[in-house]
Amino acid sequence: MPTDTKPQPRRPAANRKQLTFQEFGEQRVRKATSTLAWLLSVFLPVPLIAAGFALSTAIGPVMALAVYAGLVAVSWLIVAWRKLRSITPVSRIDWDTAPPYEQTVRAHLSPETDRAVQDALDRFQERGYQASLFRVTCTCGHGEASCTCQMRATAGAALFRGMGRAALLVGDHLLDGDTEMLRFVLAHECTHLTPSRSRITRLVMSAIVDGGMIVGILAPGMTVLPAGAVLVLVCLTARWAIEISCDIPAAHLHGAGAPPLWRLWSQVVARSRWALPWWQLPLRVLWRVLPAHPYVWLRARICRAAYARG
């Protein structure tokens, strides 16, 4: 089974300012696997608190709150206006390039894997998204035995709500591996699409953004530091809770695929952590203590219990 099924040659985008679907997927993977992406996923409240604190110091807490409330109100008015006018956002992706890319990738999949992928795409369709598959391959440049690309062992979705489109990014370790493991991961991702969890995720993100700014504006002096630490932990706990709440339904359906996934994930995460240069040792420690996703051993125990209950 080939490990790289990128269509060659590339089909150019119809609009030079747009990206082809393949280019978008590659760009998305590079950004998602960067150290900055991990820092923001865990410490997102920190720059927000800093911005709120700077604004409060410059113009006072009352005026800072008024300015921030005005910005929030304007953003909501823009969203409402776009919905009322039924304005479709300008896409930076040439979606016409997605079908040929996906066709080339799926031509190399086994029938069982292709059915699992199609079932996931159908779930996206039920939720109002026309999804296209992107195959995640190695971007670190290391050999297969020392590859540090975590996304090769997981899946994720990029949603474009205003256009009803989605990109389903699936690692080649999953597409070329055990089908039940793939189905478990895809079931987890599809659970994120349920209306209740989508609303919860949006509410959590809004609370983190608003909470970070308000804490920065109102916390007096050095109290902003412990307040910020508490908000970071709340943010991390909320993210963990969302991930685990998606693991449990997936384990009920395809729990047999969870153990091999956790073994694979543990190996890739360990290689990624130790691949950091020596001067990023503090990040290596933080990465181990405060991972963006729940600890593997915790997810494994919860999934095992959920699968046992059926």
| Distance of alpha carbon 153 from the chain centroid | 13
Q: Which residue has the higher pLDDT, 21 or 13?
A: 21
Q: What's the pLDDT at 59?
A: 94
Domain ranges within the chain, ordered by starting residue: 19-91+179-309
Per-residue pLDDT tens over the stretch 289-300: 888 889 999 999
Q: What's the pLDDT at 40?
A: 79
Distance CA 210, CA 242 (A): 19
N- to C-terminal Cα separation, the chain: 33
Report whether pLDDT(223) > 90: no
| Distance of alpha carbon 117 from the chain centroid | 18
If one counts every other C-beta atom within 10 angstroms of the C-beta of residue 1, the result is: 11
Report whether pLDDT(114) > 70: yes
Q: What's the pLDDT at 120?
A: 97
> 165-171 and 130-136: which strand pairing?
parallel
